[in-house]
Each structure stands twice: as structure tokens, then as C-alpha cells.
Amino acid sequence: METSDGRGSVDLQTDRAHGARIYDYILGGKDNYAADRAAAEATLQVWPALPVHMRANREFMHRAARYLATECGVDQFLDIGTGIPTSPNLHEVVQEVRPDARIVYTDNDPIVLVHARALMSSTEQGRTAYVDADLRDPDTILNSPEFRETLDLNRPIALMLLAVVHFIEDDEEALAATNRIIDVLPPGSYVAATIATDDFAPQTLAEVRRTYREHGETLRFRTKPRATRFFEGLDLVDPGLVQMHKWRPDAETEKAADTDIAMYAAVARKP
């Protein structure tokens, strides 16, 4: 399939499930394939709360983005593992508050590259860009012209790591990749992240992990102490590291049982 910007064909890798496309299917999207749907349906059999969990991740993104743009005055965002475009996307949320906001999206799913144009419908005052890259190779992101030309490294940037680090199984690899990016960000920058955990329903989520693996996708759950490591050296914003639905809930936050939410969430500031 040809990319949205005419850069030629890409291999969509439709023979194996991909986390972003499973997410798309569960949320009612159409940019998924048989392998993704099979993985999603099999997961729903063992964990019917999956849609609640995925909606909670998206709701956290909206709340965190509004908080960063409104209360912290951040107007630059780096969103790694953005997933398939689903409105309102990050730039739509923050540019409603800060029309001049600049956003760089990155993902390694070829179908996101196909739909990249939907991620670049910026306001006239702001700017968006897309980098086809993997979190495991942070230098590809940091050295890309899209990153360097869109974001100003002399001013605070918000790094968004939403539902992405659980696709890197090794703790040290995941920490090294995220820290490489955080190290480049100027003081006063922020990190907003959601990190998968099985602390609240270990038996059920062991079945979820097994199901994902059977369909070709990696999934790594982390305990709260392990999740906390991603914020070492940063100042956690109140209420700290909590389940997603408990991070500054508002009137639009869907009610959920703790056993239905399998990710911690936090926002932290780089001193």
C-alpha cells in the first residue's frame, strides 16, 4: 500500500497482530486486519474489560495533554507510539488550548505511516510532523529532521509514552531507550506515560499475555516498583503513579473497577 504522502509502498505486515491495530479494532476502528481481529477477539474471551481499559488510556491522554498545555504552559509535544489516528488526536487536544503548539508523532507500525497525513492537520499557527521510527532506536527519532525542525530544544517539551513501553520486554532496554530521549529534553520538560501492569488481576492478565504471544505480539507487564523506575530523576506531579482512571479524573472519566485497568499512569517534570 502507498503511504499517504506518496513515498511509495510499505509492507503492512498483515500476517501478524500489531498492538496499535488491536487497539484500533477494540475502539471500533477500521484500520485492522484478520490477525488483529483474531487477537482482539481471543483477548476479549479471557478479559472482557479490554475496551474499558483501552478507553481509559485514551481518556488519560486527553486529561494529561490538557493539563500540560493549560496548567503547565507546554506548547511542544513528542508522542512516541502514537498509534492509528483517532480523533481527537493529541494535536487537536493541545491546539484547542494552544493553537501555536507543535507536535511530533512517531510510530513503527507501517499502517500509521499510511495514515500519517491525518496526524498532520495542524492549526495555521502550530505545526505537526511524523517520524516513522521505533522507540527501541531513539537516535533515529532524535536525529530526524522532523524532530529537529519542529521542536525547539531550548524550551520545555512534553514526552508522551502512552501504552508503548510494554512492547519492549527487557526492562533495561526499555529504560535505556526512554532515558536517552529524556536526557535530551531541556529542564522544565515533562514525561507523561502509561505502563502496563498485572498488579490488579494477575491471573487474568497472564492469559492476556499468553493470547497476545500466540498471535505474534509482545506484552510485558510491570509491577509498580518497576514502573516507577521510568520516572527516576523526575518530579512526579500529584497524585503520582496511579492507575490511569485515578489520575486527575474529571466529569468525562469513565468509571471502572481496579481489576479492569491494567496500566499505571503518571506525569512528571524534569528538574
* CATH number of the domain that residue 156 is part of: 3.40.50.150
Its pTM stands at 0.91
Is 1 within a domain?
no
Residues 6+ apart with CB under 8 A from 176: none
Question: Which whole number is the average pLDDT over 161-188?
Answer: 97
Q: Where residue 32 falls among pLDDT bands split at 50, 70, 90? A: confident
Q: Where residue 9 falls among pLDDT bands split at 50, 70, 90? A: low
Residue 160: the pLDDT is 98
Q: Where residue 12 falls among pLDDT bands split at 50, 70, 90? A: low
Is 88 within a domain?
yes
Q: Where residue 168 falls among pLDDT bands split at 50, 70, 90? A: very high
Number of domains, the chain:
1
Is 174 within a domain?
yes
Q: What is the tens place of the pLDDT at every residue in 106-130?
A: 998 888 888 777 777 899 999 999 9
- Domain holding 144, by residue range, is 19-269
Is 217 within a domain?
yes
Residues 6+ apart with CB under 8 A from 20: 81, 83, 84, 107, 109, 111, 112
CA distances from 80 to 105, 133, 140 (A): 6, 9, 12
Question: Which whole number is the average pLDDT over 91-113?
Answer: 93
Residue 112: the pLDDT is 84
CB 267 within 8 A of CB 189: no
Is 250 within a domain?
yes
Residues 6+ apart with CB under 8 A from 169: 218, 220
